Amino acid sequence: MSTSDGKFGRYGGQYVPEALMPAIEELEEAYERYVLENGDGFMDEFRQRLRDFGGRPTPTQYAERLSERYGRDVYMKREDLVHGGAHKLNNALGQVLLAKYMGKERIIAETGAGQHGTATAMACAHLDFDCEVYMGERDINRQRSNVFRMKINGAEVTPVTVGRGTLKEAISETMRDWATNVEDTHYVIGSVVGPHPFPAMVRDFQSVISEEAREQMRERAGTLPDSVLACAGGGSNTMGAFAEFVDDEDVGLYAVEAGGSSLAVDEENGVAPNSASLSTGGEGVLHGARTKLLQDRDGQIMESHSVSSGLDYAGVGPELAYLVDGGRVTPVTVDDDAALEAFHRLSRMEGVIPALETAHAFAYLEENHEDLGETVLVNVSGRGDKDLESVIEETEKRGIENAPDMSMFSGGLR
Amino acid sequence: MSRIPEAFANGPAFIPYLAVGDPDYESSLAYVEALERGGADIIELGLPFSEPVAEGPTIQNAVVRALEGGMTPTRFFEFVEELDVDVPLVCMTYYNLIYRYGDEDANRPRAFVERAAEVGLDGFVVPDLPAEEADPLREACDEFDLDLVFIVAPTTEGERLERIMEQVSGYVYVQARLGVTGARSDVSAQTDESLARLDDWDVPKAVGFGIKTGDHAERIVAGGADGIIVGSALVDIVAEGHENGDSAEAVADRLETKARELSEGASRGFAQRPPHPERT
């Protein structure tokens, strides 16, 4: 769905400090001119760079053993095979290229699990931009390999120590940088969140996922899938995987959120032990948009939780909130343990080590395959190399049953 | 009826800011009252929000202290009711708290504004609410005769200026430089330029962001500002007192002294101003 006024029903909008509004308006114009109208051949160059630098198209692979296990056809859209190992490059490359068309000189970004930061750092090296990435201190410790990758690609990684040191704080900090340096700097937002035009623009850059998958499913399976599953944190791989299927009313769309350790909420301490803002959040305004948020009764934003730092965020894209309200997208949840089990299952059965984010979608498939129809498409949003340290630690700590013996790695991989 | 226009009637307005509840409810009451003794003409009361994206580290930390001290919108309104000061009060907060106030069936954001009017607030500054999204709050403010102050940034030009001019009431908050809040050792040259752009607005122009000393205040008012807004330089005093374990009385005294320095600086600046062509 397109948005002419920056709104998706009651969601979306532009709730940012006044200093940023001119930059947002400038971006809106650039989005319309270059992305929507292919001005100066922007989209042609973007598509070509996605092919040559990004390695697109990615395959839609038939998952033989999972199909056998569940008695239905399971397909995997392999975004883990995009350069850098995640769908994040689609958007980062699009925005950094757009910044170049706009004549900006500097790129800033925030990152949770580090995949977006890595993709942005790679796109900046590729297109010759200075790049600064804000990352929560806690996430830096959870995702060291991506921190290395960003630095190797020439990015400066700035730790954010306020609050709990995760994505929410990193986004706030990047907005502060942007408000200070708005005249020459573009903020590459990493998901379908933030003020208009970011949610629509990021969706457009990511919709290459469902565009390819739709065509590949027709070729491979001769039919569209009955269901599409994608994990949902901020929601960029989700919207990317859903966008071209939204009008196919017969295709069920499932946004799989991080149920964390529980769906209950600790109002007293302002803590949600999950990151399921579509399933349990309330309407509010955060980081530039009206959307569904994890918040207490006063409107203070809660600390979210997920074993996967890529899903650990208290908000979600406004378009997803809109599609959920309208019944087009079904929000579902999977807890930390089920995600870890699915991580090991997919690695063992298909030889695909998924990102912990992605593992949530496969966990939902395991538990609910009977309700998903004959043909199921799961979006493999990224690969799991970045998560190995967390997986080893969490697997041991929780005694995940289907995991291999990890005792030889006790004390981590360091 | 908002009392804000009176505050600009006789010379420049000194508008200090503090985060309410920083570091605790009782001390905060004493601190705000000290600002009035020091010469505040209007006081901006910060209602702490967990994601203060427009604030620099000084006010971010104040917000964390206040939230940890148990400050909530409900407590904030009690605070305003209990406050013993006689100057106009402006609530500075982020839109989500205004939007979420009240029970499930509440008429939002009207419920917040109604309560604000009830406890005697005079207006709002909402840093993440640009003019484009402000209609619902504007309507509620009109209904209860409260002012809605907007920020004009150094980047605000052309049509955006006009859009803000249509919406603003009370005073316009002129952001002296790009970036987030925080005290600085000099005053930005962008200020004069910003003020010049607003020259034909008939709403008072109060300059904020980075003002730290009486000399800054003097220079800015001499340059044409109708008021000065000072936050971080005062919050710094609260933070230092908190870190050193000083008594609330001692901190309040320091706040009063600093307020007086700033207020007197503004008055000196006003004395140097050439008469405004349209006001003579």
Pairwise CA distance, residues A284 & A150, whole Å: 33
Given a contact cutoff of 8 angstroms between Cβ atoms, the answer to whether A36 and A46 are in contact is: no
Are residues A299 and B53, on separate chains, in Cβ contact within 8 Å? no
Catalytic residue among A132, A381, A386, A393: A381
CA distance B250 to B258: 13
B37-58 pLDDT, tens digit each: 999 999 999 999 999 999 988 9
Between A154 and A183, residue with greater pLDDT: A154
Nearest to B179 among A180, A286, A299 (CB): A180
Name residues whose C-beta falls within 8 Å of residue B51's C-beta, 6 or more positions apart in sequence: A168, A172, A286, A287, A301, B94
Contact indicator for A234, A383 with CB cutoff of 8 Å: no
* DSSP reduced 3-state for B32: helix
pLDDT at A180 over 50: yes
CA distance B69 to chain A (A): 12
- Distance between CA atoms of residues B75 and B80, nearest Å: 9
User: What is the edge-to-edge ordering of all strands in the sheet holding A106-111?
Assistant: A156-160, A130-136, A106-111, A185-188
What percentage of chain A carries pLDDT values higher than 90? Answer: 85
pLDDT at residue B187, as a whole number = 67
On whether any CB of chain A is under 8 Å from the CB of B112, the answer is no
Any chain B CB within 8 A of the CB of A299? yes
Q: Residue A141: its pLDDT value, please?
A: 87
The Cβ-side half-sphere exposure at A160, using a 13 Å CA radius, reads 28
Residue A101: count other Cβ atoms within 10 Å of its Cβ.
17
User: What is the crossing angle of helices A388-398 and A144-152, to 10°?
Assistant: 180
Nearest C-alpha in B relative to A286: B96
Using an 8 Å CB-CB cutoff, list chain A residues near B153. Answer: 17-19, 21-22
A17·B153 Cβ contact <8 A? yes
**pLDDT, tens digit (0-9, with 9 covering 90-100), for A235-262:** 999 999 999 999 999 999 999 999 999 9
Predicted confidence at residue A162, as pLDDT, reads 80
Confirm or reject contact between B101 and chain A (CB < 8 A): yes
Q: Which residues contact B202 (CB under 8 A, 6 or more apart)?
A: none
- Residues B96, A285: C-beta atoms closer than 8 Å: yes
Q: Which residues of B are catalytic?
A: 44, 55
Would residue A88 show up in a list of annotated catalytic residues for this protein? yes
CB A379 within 8 A of CB A229: yes
B71 CB neighbours in chain A (<8 A) are none
Q: Rounded distance, CA B207 to CA A351, Å?
A: 62
Q: Which ipTM was obtained for this model?
A: 0.94
DSSP assignment of B71-91 equals --HHHHHHHHHH----S-EEE
Q: How far apart are CA A278 and CA A253, in angstroms?
A: 13
CA distances for A161 relative to A214, A298, B62, B115, angstroms? 42, 25, 15, 35
> Mean pLDDT across the stretch A171-197?
94
From CA A124, how far away is CA A118, in angstroms rounded? 10
Say what the pLDDT of residue A360 is.
98
Q: What rounded mean pLDDT belongs to chain A?
A: 94
Reported pTM: 0.95
User: Which residues in chain A touch residue B157, judged by CB atoms under 8 angstroms apart?
Assistant: 22
pLDDT of residue B280: 41
- Residue in A77, A79, A100, A110 annotated catalytic: A110
| CB-CB under 8 Å, A19 with B155 | yes
Tokens in use for A376? 């199921």
Is there a contact between B127 and A181 if contact means CB atoms under 8 Å apart?
no
Alpha-carbon gap, residue A103 to A122, rounded angstroms:
19
> Does B49 lie at the interface with A, CB-CB under 8 angstroms?
yes
Residue A128: burial class (beta carbons within 10 Å; 0-12, 13-18, 19+): exposed
Q: CB–CB of A19 and B178 under 8 A?
A: yes
Tell if the CB–CB gap between B156 and A183 is shorter than 8 Å.
no
- Residue whose structure tokens are 């997803």: A320
Neighbours of B106 (CB within 10 A): 15
Provide the pLDDT for residue A414: 47
**Structural element, H or E, at residue A46:** helix A42-52
pLDDT digits (tens, 9 = 90+) for A269-321: 788 899 999 999 999 999 999 999 999 999 999 989 999 988 999 999 999 99
Measuring CA to CA, how many Å separate B271 from each of A165, A200, B42, B176, B217? 49, 53, 20, 21, 12
- Mode of pairing for the β-strands spanning A7-8 and A11-15: antiparallel
pLDDT digits (tens, 9 = 90+) for A308-324: 988 999 999 999 999 99
Query: CB-based contact (8 Å) between A176 and chain B?
Result: yes
Q: How far apart are CA B111 and CA B106, in angstroms?
A: 6
What are the residue ranges in chain B where pLDDT is below 50?
279-280
